Amino acid sequence: MDAAVAGNMKIFHTISGQRDVLREERRSGKKIGFVPTMGNLHEGHLQLVGLGKDSCDVVVASIFVNPLQFGLNEDWEKYPRTFDDDVKKLASAGCDYLFYPDEKEIYPNGMADQTRVVVPTMTDILCGASRPGHFEGVTTVVSKLLHIVQPDEAIFGIKDFQQLAVIRRMVEDLCIPVDIIGAPIARDYDGLALSSRNCYLTEEERSGVKILYETLCWCREEIVNGRRDFSHLEALTTEKIEKGGFRIDYVSIRNAKSLEPAAHDDMDITVLGAMYAMGARLIDNVSLNLNEV
Ligand code: PAF
């Protein structure tokens, strides 16, 4: 066993060490919950651990800044690595195991030769359009992590709405025996969705970026009030955010399950947005079920 210990939490660096201990947990009938992360943990991640604790006997978190999901010009190198702090947070949130592998452990044959998992079509749109290869990196590493941990439940934040939809599709298509749970977005005092990348925002930007959430909420309200001119509404929402001084990547009104552009008679709708601040690309979304309003 290669475990280090922090409070009641055990930390494993190897796949075999993590598997051995989870095999024993499974053998004694324990239900296993899993929270995959890239570290630099915030309250949102700890809420995922809390949800895991509510419905499972044992919670495993992982920290792995997955190079395969970063584009060439993206922030893999500067992505904040805050391991000691993360360990303290996870241990005090009651996490039982932390899986903390290095790159060699996850990609022993090198990234170029790694077998890939590709969910087609729904990964080419929205964030996938501006981050080519990103979702292939996500689905590849998540499928590996699911095979390593073999959890009963895996918990992901709804903030990464497209990521969650893509992972659900992968699990369905590959018959991976795990329940995928979507957890509500944790927000800061002014509505900004918590994200490990919010630390890139300058002080000046920080006060303005709430416009993304505020404007998506405005758009949702318009739909609730009966508007169905979705393309026009997307353009108006975009304009409002741009007037706030930010560059838009996309604002899009979609069917919440398929991620296809929303049809006039769709009941389950999500409004998704991505915008650029100077130091960070921010994403957010709001959903509505027209049967319930
Ligand atoms: O959402 C994240 O933090 C990452 O995309 C994930 C799911 C841990 C895969 O690297």
Which of 34, 37, 98, 123 is the pocket-test mutation for ligand 1 (most atoms within 8 Å of CB)?
Answer: 37
Reported confidence tier of residue 2, pLDDT bands at 50, 70, 90: low
As a whole number of angstroms, the distance between CA 18 and CA 101 comes to 10
Return the bridge partners of 252, or none: 272
As a whole number of angstroms, the distance between CA 240 and CA 92 comes to 41
**Is there an atom of ligand 1 within 6 Å of 18 CB?**
no
What mean pLDDT is predicted for residues 217-236? 97
Reported confidence tier of residue 279, pLDDT bands at 50, 70, 90: confident
As a whole number of angstroms, the distance between CA 289 and CA 293 comes to 7
Q: What confidence tens digit (pLDDT) does each residue in 44-72 have?
A: 999 999 999 999 999 999 999 999 999 99
Ligand 1 centre distance from Cα of residue 223 (Å)? 31
Decide which of 3.30.390.50, 3.30.1300.10, 3.10.20.30, 3.90.1150.10 is the CATH code for 196-287.
3.30.1300.10
Q: Domain map of the chain by residue range? A: 4-183, 196-287
Are the C-beta atoms of residues 219 and 253 closer than 8 Å to each other?
yes
Ligand 1 centre distance from Cα of residue 247 (Å)? 25
pTM: 0.97
Neighbours of 57 (CB within 10 A): 15
Catalytic residue among 13, 42, 45, 147: 45
What does 28-60 look like in DSSP terms, one character per residue?
TT--EEEEEE-SS--HHHHHHHHHHHHH-SEEE
Residues in the chain: 293
As a whole number of angstroms, the distance between CA 53 and CA 134 comes to 30
Reported confidence tier of residue 3, pLDDT bands at 50, 70, 90: confident
As a whole number of angstroms, the distance between CA 169 and CA 175 comes to 10
**Is there an atom of ligand 1 within 6 Å of 155 CB?**
no
Q: What confidence tens digit (pLDDT) does each residue in 9-39 have?
A: 999 999 999 999 999 999 999 999 999 999 9
Reported confidence tier of residue 1, pLDDT bands at 50, 70, 90: low
As a whole number of angstroms, the distance between CA 262 and CA 267 comes to 9
For 223, residues 6+ apart whose C-beta sits below 8 A from its C-beta are 233, 253, 269, 271, 288, 290
As a whole number of angstroms, the distance between CA 15 and CA 30 comes to 19
Is the model more confident about 2 or about 80? 80
Q: Which two tokens stand for residue 154?
A: 């895996």
What mean pLDDT is predicted for residues 97-120? 97
Are the C-beta atoms of residues 186 and 50 closer than 8 Å to each other?
no
The confidence score (pLDDT) of residue 130 equals 96
Q: What confidence tens digit (pLDDT) does each residue in 130-170 have?
A: 999 999 999 999 999 999 999 999 999 999 999 999 999 99
What superfamily does domain 4-183 belong to in CATH? HUPs (3.40.50.620)
State the average pLDDT for the chain: 97
Q: What confidence tens digit (pLDDT) does each residue in 72-94 have?
A: 999 999 999 999 999 999 999 99
As a whole number of angstroms, the distance between CA 171 and CA 158 comes to 17
Q: What confidence tens digit (pLDDT) does each residue in 156-213 have?
A: 999 999 999 999 999 999 999 999 999 999 999 999 999 999 999 998 899 999 999 9
Q: What confidence tens digit (pLDDT) does each residue in 255-272 have?
A: 999 999 999 999 999 999
The confidence score (pLDDT) of residue 278 equals 86
Ligand 1 centre distance from Cα of residue 274 (Å)? 17
What does 89-129 look like in DSSP terms, one character per residue?
HHHHTT--EEE---HHHH-TT-STT-------STTSSTHHH
